[in-house]
Structure 1
Amino acid sequence: MSPSHSPLEIRPGRHLDWPTLAVAAAIYSGWIVVTARHGSIPTPLLVLSGGWLLAWHGSLQHETIHGHPTGIRLLDGAIGFVPLALWLPYRLYRSSHLAHHASPAITDPHEDPESRYVDRRFGLAWLAARLQSTLPGHLLFGPPIAIARFAAHESRRAVSAPLQVARDWLPHLLAVGLLLLWLDHVGLSITRYVLFFVYPGMALTNLRSYAEHRADLATKGRAATVERGGPLALLFLNNNLHAAHHERPGLPWYRLPSYHREHRARLIGDGAVLYGSYGEIFRRFAVNAHDAVLHPQYRDKSA
């Protein structure tokens, strides 16, 4: 990571990022139209559009966490807050993601809340990591595992810090209630919404996250780059250029490609993790694991 930029850098100034606002308008208006017209949309197209909108919304939330589109935390949070995925309060996502960027050792399961590595060769965490070690496993099993792990963590936190949990969850639950009222109004059952919107949306997001970090003790966890994102670059708001994002997390999504081109030699040099496309990731990891799930920091201790 470049020493000249804080990992929590927020874009200076308070001017509107119109491309990000346009994405937000497209997501929310698209979600309203698709949910309202779900009965007339063929199931394959409903799964595709629902999954795309939910994954795109996750990318938008990621942008708001990093200070877009206004640079005013309250306004950006209001834009990203809407709980289309139902299960994850925005406040907790924001806290976890900023902790990921601030981690002194990205990918270390004790230092990075977004790590998928483990520190031992047994237990439920080990089994969950093994189930997700290939790309199909991460797409298929990743969503329910993420929700189950999150629910277990929040259950423990509810015992140790009930007031804080209530503060984090009450606004989220109120918003979820309003969203469920809308789904009931348009006749879309919660089961169909989870299966046709939430699950495929999480799976698409997992496609992005699967190979974006690789544990490396020499570099404290190296961020990867997928150079040709194709249509998925728009879905992920250029977060496929993950090394560039980690170096300049306050840079808006539409400026990442030019930043990557300008600094490409450095970003992909010195052993950096580089993929040509998501097609390459599919080919390489359809059967083979992306990496050993036991973090290298703990491999000797667990031998």
Structure 2
Amino acid sequence: MNKFVNDSQKSDIAHLKKWFIWKTEWPTWLLIIFFYMACYFTLTHFEHLGSLISSILLLLLITFYMSLQHELLHGHPTRYDELNRLFGLLPFALLYPFDLYKQQHLIHHSDEHLTDPILDPESNYIFVENWQALNLLQKWQFQLNRNLLGRFLAGPFFSFISVLKQIFLDFYQLKLRAILMWIEHFILIAVLFWALKSIFHVPISLYIIIAYFSISIALIRSFYEHRPAVNISDRTVINEAEFIFRILFLDNNYHLIHHDLPHAPWFMLKTIFKRHQQDYLIKNNGFYVRGYRTLFRLHSIKAIDSPIYQHSLEQVQSKINQRK
């Protein structure tokens, strides 16, 4: 459901929806075409370009593809879910099936549960009573996820462990629909690996490393998108990202606008923010980051907050009260 900062913005959004660019979503169509052409070019010229340049290009393309998948699962660029799904079904990043990503991400969009360790599948927090039951290795995992360097280096590995657990549970509990999803996913990965080896002559081991670090880059985006807060509107960030990250993340750094207007296409998010900037900064109590460089500078090693939900909630509310 769309949430507007005021009636004036609601009227403005209704006007923007009539723009040709919004109605046709031609930028998203161009990105889909660009991705598959660029990916095909890079793979077919892998040996000619050299391993280093090809790997960097694939790293950026796979990261970009995950952002494109995010756009597709939100109903872009067509009104037909199956067609959108087709554009994003291939598992270039290897880890998540498109359908699982869509299912969990749409649950995440229940804003009343944002950051809740149980109800939000994308939460990075844990309740204090569950924290006390963890062993040292498990606690280290949560703590590692609260600084950017740890998240970048180890985040994909922990995501892989989580996926393995999900596969085991789905098969053990005989969830037929989930089992079919995993079988489809495994087949698509097998086809991808076959094509990499037999057609494009790309080492599979190198591709796995590239995919790993593409997930690492994607995890930068979600590092501090949300924080625990009493008021729902205080939980979601606005990040004025650098140009390269805006492209790689398809402006999802304007995250509050995306959560308020989840059906707004990526290329309208910055426009909407700039037209109502002060309203949004008031709405989320100044939860604003001046680019990812700021996060790297302050929190490459130093934890941005506590992984314990109640502790971070208290810290955030203290800051909000001080602002008032």
Q: TM-score, normalised by structure 1?
A: 0.89
- Verify the 8 A CA contact 1:108 1:297 in the aligned structure 2: no
**Are 1:127 and 2:135 an aligned pair?**
no
In structure 1, distance between residues paired with 2:123 and 2:3: 23
Amino acid at match of 1:263: H
Q: Does 1:296 align with 2:304?
A: no
User: How far apart, in 2, do the equivalents of 1:93 and 1:135 lie?
Assistant: 22
Aligned match of 2:99 in 83, 88, 91? 91
CA separation in 1, counterparts of 2:302 and 2:51?
31
Aligned residue number for residue 47 of structure 1: 55
> Who is 1:156 aligned against?
169
Aligned equivalents of 2:4 and 2:276: distance in 1? 14
2:258 is matched with which residue: 245, 258, 265?
245
Q: Distance in 2 between matches of 1:163 and 1:54?
A: 29
Instruction: Tell me what 2:248 maps to.
Output: 235
Give the partner amino acid of 2:115: T
Distance in 1 of aligned mates of 2:23 and 2:285: 37
Equivalent residue letter for 1:171: E
- Which one has the bigger helix percentage? 2
Residues 167 and 182 of structure 2 are in contact (CA less than 8 Å); yes or no, is this contact kept in structure 1? Answer: no
Q: Within 5 Å, which residues of 2 pair with 1:249-260?
A: 249-260=262-273
Taking the TM superposition and a 5 Å limit, the aligned residue runs for 1:140-289 are 140-185=153-198, 186-196=200-210, 198-219=211-232, 222-269=235-282, 270-289=284-303
Determine the C-alpha separation between the residues in 2 that align with 1:142 and 1:134: 10
CA deviation after TM superposition for structure 1 residue 207, in Å: 1.1
Query: Which protein has the larger Cα radius of gyration, Structure 1 or Structure 2?
Result: 2
What displacement does 1:229 show? 2.8
Q: 2:12: which partner in 1?
A: none
Cα distance in 1 between the residues matched to 2:179 and 2:119: 25
Indicate yes or no: 2:117 matched with 1:109. Answer: yes
C-alpha distance 67-15 of structure 1, shift in aligned 2 (>3 A) = same
CA distance in 2, matches of 1:257, 1:223: 15
CA distance in 2, matches of 1:40, 1:195: 20
Mapped partners of 2:235, 2:112: distance in 1: 12
Q: What SS does the aligned partner of 1:110 have?
A: coil
Q: Give the alignment's TM-score, normalised by structure 2.
A: 0.84
Name the aligned partner's letter for residue 78 of structure 1: L
Tell me what 2:25 maps to. 17
CA distance in 2, matches of 1:74, 1:15: 19
C-alpha contact (below 8 Å) 1:227/1:277 kept by paired residues: yes
What percent identity do the matched residue pairs reach? 26
Task: Report the residue type matching 2:244 in the other structure.
Answer: P
**Preserved CA contact (<8 Å) 1:103 1:111:** no
Contact 1:107–1:221, Cα closer than 8 Å, also in 2: no
Between the aligned partners of 1:23 and 1:215, the Cα distance in structure 2 is 34
Describe the shift of the 1:87–1:286 C-alpha distance in structure 2 as closer, same or farther (beyond 3 A). closer
User: Offset at 1:298?
Assistant: 9.6
Task: Quote how far apart the aligned CAs of 1:125 are.
Answer: 4.5
Q: Which has the larger displacement, 79-88 or 168-177?
A: 168-177
Distance 2:41 2:51 in 1: 15
CA–CA separation in structure 1 for the residues paired with 2:146 and 2:311: 18
Aligned residue identity for 1:258: T
State how far apart, in whole Å, the 2-side matches of 1:192 and 1:153 are.
26
Q: Distance in 1 between matches of 2:172 and 2:296?
A: 41
SS in 2 for 1:240: coil
Letter in 2 for 1:295: Y
Does the 8 A contact of 1:229 with 1:240 survive in 2? no
Question: CA distance change for structure 1 residues 264 and 290 in 2, over 3 Å: closer, same or farther?
Answer: same
Name the CA distance, whole Å, in 2 between partners of 1:97 and 1:126: 25
Q: Give 1:126 deviation, angstroms.
A: 3.0
Following TM superposition, by how much is the alpha carbon of 1:44 offset from its aligned partner in structure 2, in angstroms? 3.8
Secondary structure of 2:240's partner?
A: strand
Answer yes or no: is the 8 Å Cα contact 2:4–2:260 preserved in 1.
no
* Residues 115/125 of structure 1: CA separation in 2 closer, same or farther (3 Å cut): farther
Alignment match, 1:32? 40
- Residues 132-169 of structure 1: CA distance to partner in whole angstroms, max 9, x if unpaired? 21111110010111111121122122111341222212
For the aligned residue pairs, the C-alpha RMSD in angstroms reads 2.5
Structure 2: gaps spanning 5 or more residues: 6-16, 315-324
Contact 1:217–1:297 (8 Å) recurs in 2: no
Tell me the SS of whatever aligns to 1:150: helix
